[in-house]
Chain A
Amino acid sequence: MIEFKDISKVYKKEFLAINHVNLKIDEGEFVFLVGKSGAGKTTLVKLLLKEIEPSSGKIYYHDEDITKIRRQHIAGYRRQIGFVFQDYRLIPKKNVFENVAFAMEIIGQSRKNIRREVPTVLNMVGLASKAKNYPEELSGGEMQRVAIARAVINRPKIIIADEPTGNLDPETSVEIMKIFTEINKRGTTLIMATHDRDIVNRMQKRVIELKKGSIIRDTEAGGYAHEY
């Protein structure tokens, strides 16, 4: 489904963020990207979102080289991907329902569809009762669940989460992971960049470990780190 072929990314000042990475992720997989800060996790995510371009190499999505997508087709490509941020990125002046509906509005969905889909997804993340609350009235875990609802509402093929549990306590993190597991079970590919050792160890999913821009480990069902 996704394939990185000999991808390198050099930032200004000749900093090699990603160094000749080859990587293949199949449809329906659940993949953790782990590694220290600066190892290249976020760069990898940004490349996948087409927020930045690789310095060399090719990235395929369903056999299409996304480094060659035309500008006007980027929006269409990004609709295949749901993105979850560490800091939730909710719009403060919109309530829970509106925050989720926003994702449908901006891709031009009808009001009828919005009224039908949003409650279903809010139900799935367990926030049906808080539809009218504003972000400031929610806990961190609840905000992240709104963000997840927003990421899945347009039925993307892939969910990419960048440190989604970074701001949450362990218990809440477990809840969030349950939702991700549920989404993954329905066939959505999940890619999660994380520092959360407990979560990775507990889930026993595929782990890709990065160090200084290179993949140093890719285990089928592994823990956070094999040595330390």
Chain B
Amino acid sequence: MIRFDNVYKRYPGGRDALQGVSFHLHAGAMAFLTGHSGAGKSTLLKLVALLEHATRGQLFLDGENLSQTSRRGIPYVRRKIGMIFQNYRLLFDRTVFDNVALPLVIAGYRHQDIGRRVRAALDKVGLLDRERALPITLSGGEQQRVGIARAVVNKPPLLLADEPTGNLDPELSRDIMHLFEQFNQVGVSVLIASHDLDLIATLPYTQLQLHHGRLVKSATGTDT
């Protein structure tokens, strides 16, 4: 699903965020991306979502070489990825329903399909009864579940999460991780950046550990 081939990323100013990173996340696999702050976790996710471009090396998403994607092609790459953020990034002037519907509206789904799919996604995250609520009236955990519903509503083959539990207490964090496991079980590839090591240790998934921009450890489900 994701393949990095000796990828380097240097930011303007000379900071090396990633140096010679190579790994392969298979389709249908789930993995955690760990490492200290500034180790390059976010940069790695940004490269996959084409928010940044690699300085050197090649990376592939679903077989597509991202270093050759044109500007016009970027939105279509992003539609293959469900992205989840630490600060949820919901639109606060719209209802839960409208927030979750956004990817479908963007992709030009028909009105009837949108209603059906949005309710299915909200049902999966347990918020079906809150579709008319505004995000501001929800708790942090609920907001993150809205964010997850939005990420999965158009059934992307890959979920990318950047510190999805960073603002949540341990119990809520476990619930959220459990949701990711459920999506993984139906075949969605999942890559989660997190420094919640206690929680990750309880879960049987691959860890990709970054240290100063270099990949230092990986285990089952991935090749380096």
A and B bind: no
Give me the interface of B with A, judged by CB distance under 8 Å. Answer: none
Give me the interface of A with B, judged by CB distance under 8 Å. Answer: none
